Amino acid sequence: MASKNLILGSAAALLLAGGAQAADLPVKARAIEHVRICSLYGAGFFYIPGTDTCIKLGGYLRADTTFNGGAHGAPAWSGDLGQQNRFRDHFLSRSRMALSIDTRTATEYGVVRTFGHGNFQFQNFGSTNPAGSVGSQTTGLNGALLSTAGGGYVAVEYLFIQFAGFTFGKSSSAYSTPWNGFPGNISANLLGGNNTDTGINNIQYTAQFGNGLSASIGLDDPSVWTRTAVYNLSVPAAIGANGTGSNAYAGLRAPDIVGNIRVDQTWGLLQLSAAAHEVTGSYNTLGAGSVPTNLSGISGHPDSKWGGSVMAALQIKNIPTGKGDDIKIDVSYAKGHTKQVIATSGSSPSFAMFGDSGFAYQSVGFGATTDGVYFPGAAGTGGIQLTTAWGVRGAFNHNWNPNWSTSLFGSYSSVRYDGGADDNINGLGTTTAKGAYCAAFAASHPGQAAVGNQAGNYSCNPDFNVSQLGVMTRWVPVKNLTISVQALWFHLDQKMSGSSAFTAAAPKPAALYEFKDQNTVLLQVRAQRNF
């Protein structure tokens, strides 16, 4: 009986204790908020929990290798690659992971959008030359080329806000086409037109008129992207061993004013673009390398000049050669705005290429890319003489089947300096751009046609043309994975003639060089996985 009473009492106590604990629990657990799909803006968007903002995360991972070229398919058109010397790397590899964040919120003013895109990159340097202008593996690397074990860097592309037709931040210029510098290529170095594919700081507004008709106007910051160089040709050694000078651009005074009118329909696209660009020089008196001296501030400066550029672009879709095939082409003209023709995804190149010669030590081809040049003084150019450039580029893109496609692409560009080819005969003619350039070239290359079987045939002319022709084939073995192979030929048609004995950039010797057109080819291989 005692045991029975103990067991019953213990059970009752447990029941009472359990009831008390149950009373302390909430009646119903709070529901967990799951991620909701946002179908308003296409696939991949979802709502940020607790908000009405949709977000999409994306990007890609890419591995590139270029043979006989620079990063991202740059031809061997300058530096150690242009010289083909022993310091150059015969191939260059770069690995990249790109991450993008796209947010959109519906408001009473329309959609508010923010977008950011950054690249985590690693590449080898491309040269071991200790005298490299951006550092080297023996003297320390430039911060943008951290090719050390465990190194790498972050490259920022687009960062912008869009609201009620306005775009604020770092985005493609209102001047650019939707394909920028990529009508059918994977290289970021197809010249002949505009390219702002990694973004330029700007403010722009786009108005939609219906039926695919739109117009955009914007203000672009030219400091990083749309300037090439201004040469003061009176400075000591104004034209260096490679035919180029030091940059004497003044500080920013005005943004570029840009805009376009575009028709975008099922048959394709037609776009007309225009830009105004201010060209400014720093001072009349500068030291070697265009660095200021104590006399610069009292020497005066050339008057600024406004140049600009125009572009017409056309895309024709679904041509009879196959489903999804298209043709893209754009034609550009610039005066004092050469970056809109000699454009890459980075700075505009100048060209210094060496090759074989039948009588001289080697042949050489120079091409200096500028927005303008000036030579101060009563017998000078009378201010900045703007450089003229024009170009055309395009591509035919063909789909063999859903897994294979090929693009045939090319470009032609021309750069011209005002004046005659022989303006500087007997030291005269510095009133023209050609004459001033050739006077400065003669001062630093004093042995023109002094020896060799081309003696007497020397003629100075800084004009040049560049041509490119390439083919690229893509294979998509599975969805979002693409393997591409691209071959590119580059031709420099320089206008100097005869020969000259001068001291070339080291490691080239002081010798007789023949002025001659130059060629180079490259092969680029890429694997890319989008996500």
**pLDDT value for 445:** 83
Task: Supply 218's token pair.
Answer: 């914007």
* Sheet of strand 372-374: strand arrangement: 230-232, 372-374, 385-386
Distance, first Cα to last Cα, the chain: 75
Q: Find all residues with CB under 8 Å of 34, minimum gap 6, and list them.
A: none
β-partners of residue 328 are 315, 395
pTM (2 d.p.): 0.89
Q: Do strands 351-355 and 166-171 pair parallel, antiparallel, or not at all (unpaired)?
A: unpaired
- In the chain, domain spans: 34-530
Write the single-letter amino acid at 285.
T
pLDDT at 500: 87
Residue 378: left (phi > 0), alpha (psi -120 to 50), or beta? Answer: alpha
Q: Which residues of 481-496 are buried (b: 16+ CB within 10 A; e: fewer)?
A: ebebebebebbbbbbb
> Using one digit for the tens of pLDDT, what is the confidence trace for 235-290?
999 999 999 999 999 999 999 999 999 999 999 999 999 999 999 999 999 999 99
User: Residue 123 has what pLDDT?
Assistant: 80
| Helix, strand, coil percent content, the chain, rounded in steps of 5 | 10, 45, 45
Determine how β-strand 464-478 pairs with β-strand 404-416: antiparallel
Q: Which of 72, 4, 53, 67 is nearest to 344 (CA)?
A: 72
Q: Domain 34-530 is classified in which CATH homologous superfamily?
A: Porin (2.40.160.10)
> SS3 of 363, please?
strand
Query: What per-residue confidence (pLDDT) applies to 101?
Result: 98
In this predicted structure, what is the pLDDT of residue 443?
A: 86
Q: Where are the beta strands (DSSP E) in 108-194?
A: 110-123, 135-136, 140-141, 153-163, 166-171
How many whole angstroms separate alpha carbon 468 and alpha carbon 177? 20
Which residues, given as ranges, of the chain have pLDDT below 70? Answer: 1-33, 125, 130-150, 421-422, 424-428, 447-456
